[in-house]
Structure 1
Amino acid sequence: MSTKEKGQAAEQKACDYLKSYGFEIVEQNFYAKKLGEIDIISKKNDTYHFVEVKSSVDYESAINNITPSKISKLKRSIDYYLQTKKLDVAYCIDVIIIVDENIDLISNITI
């Protein structure tokens, strides 16, 4: 399985996980021009959740891929998304870590 296929499989697991907890999937793989990509945009209780999905062979490797640079790019991508869609909504940034069959949701990482 290629890296791209592994990423797509992880994102599908993440979407299934979110749906099982009452999230609505609004969009996947939103590309924000030169800023980057938002893996999953979901919504629950009138709050948008911009979700970064990371999968790896172990938890530490996955979590270490959430760098200040990555968060900065994600914030700029979110701003672009909100402007493009003309939205003024409550939102947060979440991370889903997938290691084998284990899935962890880390909510609101920018607090």
Structure 2
Amino acid sequence: TLLLDTGIRAQECCLAWDDVRPNYIIVNGKTGERDVPIHEKTSHLLQSLKAQSNHNHYVFQGKRGPLTSQGIYKVIRRICHQANMDGRRSSPQTFRHTFGTEYAASGSCDPKSLQDI
């Protein structure tokens, strides 16, 4: 949900809970730090995840720290396998592309805003 809702890159998923706000997340990407808006549903899902997080510092915690971009790829591959979608190409970039396509098709697309995301 977070990838599809925001269009963030895999390496930007290494969020600390301090980066999560009610209506947006603070992302440190290859273009620097930026605020990325999130939908209310995503905000509620993140709040629910935080309540179950056992006071972890990171939103997506791996065995030895924050989930890495490689870990994100593995999670997506595992989900695709469980959904019998093994032959389909799916990656964090697929979600980013879908986000951009849907945002542009929404009619309220400001090209500069899309570029900034």
Higher relative contact order structure (alpha carbons within 8 Å, sequence separation ≥ 6): 2
Question: Which structure has more strand as a fraction of its residues?
Answer: 1
TM-score, length-scaled by structure 2: 0.29
Tell me which protein shows more helix as a share of its residues.
2
TM-score by length of 1: 0.30
